[in-house]
Amino acid sequence: MSVGIRHDDLRRRNRAMVIGAVRRAGQPSRTEIAATTGLSHSTISAISADLIGEGILTEGKPNEAGSLKRGRPQVGLGLNPEAAAVMTVVLSLNFLSVAVIDYAGQVVAEEQRRLDTLTMSREALIGECTAIVRRRLEDPDLDVSSVARIALAIQGITDTEARTMLWSPITPRTDIAFADILEAEFGIPATMENDCNMMAVALRWRAPERYRDDFIAILLSHGIGMGLVLKGELFTGTHSSGGEFGHMIHRPGGALCRCGRRGCVEAYAGNYAIWRNARQLGEDTEPVADVSDAQMRALAATAREKDGPEREAYRKAGEALGYGLGSLFALIDPAPVAMVGVSAAAFDLIEPALREAIAQTAGGQHSKSISFDTEPNELPLIREGCAMRALTFVDQEIFAPGGQARSGKNVA
Amino acid sequence: MSVGIRHDDLRRRNRAMVIGAVRRAGQPSRTEIAATTGLSHSTISAISADLIGEGILTEGKPNEAGSLKRGRPQVGLGLNPEAAAVMTVVLSLNFLSVAVIDYAGQVVAEEQRRLDTLTMSREALIGECTAIVRRRLEDPDLDVSSVARIALAIQGITDTEARTMLWSPITPRTDIAFADILEAEFGIPATMENDCNMMAVALRWRAPERYRDDFIAILLSHGIGMGLVLKGELFTGTHSSGGEFGHMIHRPGGALCRCGRRGCVEAYAGNYAIWRNARQLGEDTEPVADVSDAQMRALAATAREKDGPEREAYRKAGEALGYGLGSLFALIDPAPVAMVGVSAAAFDLIEPALREAIAQTAGGQHSKSISFDTEPNELPLIREGCAMRALTFVDQEIFAPGGQARSGKNVA
DNA sequence: AGTATTTTTTCGAGGCCCGAAAAAATGGGG
DNA sequence: CCCCATTTTTTCGGGCCTCGAAAAAATACT
């Protein structure tokens, strides 16, 4: 089972701890780091000296916020932006976007492209992805060798190893091993992530006071996706990225879902489902391929204006989401929820039915206290999550003693 | 966040590793332990010498299975049964059972008692539990000081800290801090566990080749419970023991559940629900308090005999369980399932509808490959799980250097 | 300018794990 | 019957790592 701790792992782990503390805290002093990690001052001093020598950390200028305290001023430690860089690739419906991010987390370059993902061949899709990455890598402003990792995100299902897209609504092609492909092409470690999981990762960095150990991010878009953090860990399935909240069954044998099955939550709350209900097309109507954000906003506007099929469509969406959340809460207990995506902008139309439904479920007793945030724009969140995921991977690799670590020692 | 590894933790963790390896393997040699833990022979040698000196491990007799190998024969290391003892207390409907288990996992004493849990006062219920524990502790054959831990299990919901019973179907009383009560009474560390979680723990020890990293244990009894192991870890909710599979919503607004809500899986698949449907009482009929195992077996026999309401009741149960499992699989991906409890003996009646329902869900594509085991008797499983849980806790405590560890050093 | 205060570094001590070699324990073969 | 090959276990020296205490550094207050 789990493996013993070798003596040499100790330093590596504690280096990881220090880097992690710096990434989370921003510009902590050595004393602060000692406090948060529980290690002694001497250890922190030694490790940070190494890390500075290796160019991973940098000493900030003496605290600019005029030190009002008495003694020797703390010197903040920060991540050296030039220590490494990562790339994020977000592949969504008809849209491909790439960004280069420095080690401190700042975007240094980006590129976006429209394409017709639904009809593209497998090769074309892969080709577009590698081409856009190549263009960024060829940017003369970028030191290619510093790019330490690539993180891709895609709507749909990925495997637990974060290497392969198993299935995605944005393309009929399946089982594309994007991570392997990019690694083979560029020799840079890559991972293939699920978009909603990245949303959750981003929320955690954006608002750790609200989203820390246990929370749910739900994407209300064409499909319904979920990213789940439980006990401080990103939750994934046993084989796939899992958390297919949208395909929990709301009504056995119910409305036709895009996945071909019936009664999924998505078949009531996805854009196409709301659209279908608003147009009173009947639950067996084949889901349309895409409803534009503008169309959805118009629908929401109509629903707010008058009590008609549009309003009823949002009510049904709320009900499905509410019962789904209720079932989820039965399994994991209630937790804060962030609603993300275009329909999050219509959450006012969804919320009443949603709360009413939750009240009918095991999560119901806490119904009042469950809070919802909304964030209509999922793309920035996904990109941010990818960036943090890639960067924390780098954190976990760079600190391994060996290579640079040795030269650091020699300098000292 | 996570805390740095202090130098002194190293030894403690590696001792834990060694004890764990011995508990899992039975009578492993030092060489085997070195292989499974990844630690060096010298380290294992040193640690096991300490542990033997402290009376935690014992050297077995030279391998009785006539060593056919050439060199120096391996000496097996085993747990010293006298190193400690634990108690398990299982509280179920109208039944209280206690066992004393030695450090090697053998039952050394037990006691069982019928009582009327549904009508007892809070004080009486607590009193019965402390009384039965006291009687066992007063057993002259038992060295009281060796009892290192007590694990209670109860049907129902407990808190994540494993200290309090929050709610249970076996009594109208709620929020009883059993762990605190027993600790205060006897000065022995105690935990309050959920019965289905203990079933899962036991299955893991009984059949690790089948139930290891990811599996589901479902209790089909008066209520429907679940124990879930994901990625090798027992899954719990954020606040409570969680995993309330029985109260996922199968049909919004559907059959009346014992919990007062409508449409829960349990309202179709619990004993009372099967009974209600078999008697054609209507879905709004108040759930009866208890259906005896004999009654359920009679029901199953009738269902096997002729196609009537009894068979239909089991079909409905299968359907509810199938859709519930399908929704669960959407979240965590499919995993092996063990069906436990009296209705597991009627699984032949349940399985067809269950499989048909699963096929309608996101887990459907794997429908064929999902395997079910059945185990009609939940009590031994729960007791076994409690015992292993308590023992592994002891494993995690005894190895902390200090106290005995010192004397061990002096001897050496 | 001197002192109090706080942060950071230095230094010696103690522990832990590892690899290599030695010791122990046994079966096989001449 | 003795010696050697083989495998397991222990011993030993070396190298790291972390820790606590004390020293050094850097600033505010008086």
Residue B89: pLDDT band with limits 50, 70, 90: very high
Per-residue confidence (pLDDT) for residue B198, from 0 to 100: 98
- Is the CB of B306 less than 7 A from some atom of nucleic acid strand C? no
Spell out the domains of chain A, with CATH numbers in brackets. 7-79 (1.10.10.10), 84-199+380-397 (3.30.420.40), 207-377 (3.30.420.40)
pLDDT exceeds cutoff 70 at B408: no
Which tops the pLDDT comparison, B93 or A202?
A: A202
Mean pLDDT check: name the lowest of A46-50, A210-214, B177-181, B399-403: B399-403
Residue written as token pair 């593209």: A120
Over residues A10-27, the pLDDT tens digits come to: 999 999 999 999 999 989
> To the nearest whole angstrom, how far is the Cα of A16 from the nearest Cα of chain B?
9
**What's the rounded Cα separation, in Å, for the pair B59 and B185?**
36
**What's the rounded Cα separation, in Å, for the pair A66 and B211?**
60
Per-residue confidence (pLDDT) for residue B62, from 0 to 100: 59
In b/e form, how buried is each residue of A265-296, taking b as 16+ CB within 10 angstroms? Answer: bbbbbbbbbbbbbbeeeebebebeebbebeeb
Does the beta carbon of B41 lie under 8 angstroms from any beta carbon of chain A? no
- Is the CB of B9 less than 7 A from some atom of nucleic acid strand C? no
- In chain B, residues with a C-beta closer than 8 Å to the C-beta of A39 are 4, 6
The answer to whether B252 contacts A249, with C-beta atoms less than 8 Å apart, is no
**What's the rounded Cα separation, in Å, for the pair A218 and A339?**
5
Mean pLDDT check: name the lowest of A52-56, A350-354, A366-370, B288-292: A366-370
Residues 211-240 on chain B lying near strand D, CB distance under 7 A: none
**What's the rounded Cα separation, in Å, for the pair B236 and A405?**
41
Using the CA of A59, which nucleotide's C1' is the nearest one?
A: C8
**What's the rounded Cα separation, in Å, for the pair A363 and A355?**
10
Over residues A89-119, the pLDDT tens digits come to: 999 999 999 999 999 999 999 999 999 999 9
Chain A nearest-CA residue for B319: A252
Contact B243, B227 (CB under 8 A): yes
**What's the rounded Cα separation, in Å, for the pair A227 and B161?**
25
- In chain B, residues with a C-beta closer than 8 Å to the C-beta of A264 are 362
Residue written as token pair 């079932």: A327
Over residues B279-300, the pLDDT tens digits come to: 999 999 999 878 999 999 999 9
Over residues B362-402, the pLDDT tens digits come to: 877 776 778 899 999 999 999 999 999 999 999 988 777 64
Does the beta carbon of B17 lie under 8 angstroms from any beta carbon of chain A? yes
Contact A226, A244 (CB under 8 A): yes
Chain B nearest-CA residue for A35: B3
- Is the CB of A68 less than 7 A from some atom of nucleic acid strand C? no
Three-state helix/strand/coil letters over chain A: CCCCCCHHHHHHHHHHHHHHHHHHHCCCCHHHHHHHHCCCHHHHHHHHHHHHHCCCEEECCCCCCCCCCCCCCCCCEEECHHHCEEEEEEEECCEEEEEEEECCCCEEEEEEEECCCCCCCHHHHHHHHHHHHHHHHCCCCCCHHHEEEEEEEECCEEECCCCCEEECCCCCCCCECHHHHHHHHHCCCEEEEEHHHHHHHHHHHHCCCCCCCCEEEEEECCCEEEEEEECCEECCCCCECCCCHHHCECCCCCCECCCCCECECHHHHCHHHHHHHHCCCCCCCCCCCCCCHHHHHHHHHHHHHCCCHHHHHHHHHHHHHHHHHHHHHHHHCCCCEEEECHHHHHHHHHHHHHHHHHHCCHHHHHHHHCCEEEECCHHHHHHHHHHHHHHHHHHHHHCCCCCHHHHHHHHC
Per-residue confidence (pLDDT) for residue B86, from 0 to 100: 97
Residue B249: pLDDT band with limits 50, 70, 90: very high
**What's the rounded Cα separation, in Å, for the pair B48 and B11?**
12
Over residues B217-248, the pLDDT tens digits come to: 999 999 999 999 999 999 999 999 989 999 99
Mean pLDDT check: name the lowest of A187-196, A325-334, B19-28, B68-77: B68-77
Per-residue confidence (pLDDT) for residue B237, from 0 to 100: 94
**Which among A276-280, B360-364, B406-410 has the top mean pLDDT?**
A276-280
Over residues A341-360, the pLDDT tens digits come to: 999 999 999 999 999 999 99
**What's the rounded Cα separation, in Å, for the pair A251 and A262?**
8
The set of strand C positions with any atom below 7 Å of a protein CB reads 4-12, 14-21, 23-28
Q: Which of residues 179-218 of B touch A (CB under 8 A)?
A: 213-214
pLDDT exceeds cutoff 50 at B202: yes
Nearest to B264 by CA among A98, A331, A67: A331
Integer Rg of chain B from CA: 24
The chain-wide mean pLDDT, for chain A, equals 92
Beta-bridge partner residues of A89: A98, A152
The answer to whether A261 contacts B362, with C-beta atoms less than 8 Å apart, is yes
**What's the rounded Cα separation, in Å, for the pair B410 and B404?**
10
Residues 34-93 on chain B lying near strand C, CB distance under 7 A: 38-43, 46-47, 62, 67, 70-73
Residue B64: pLDDT band with limits 50, 70, 90: low
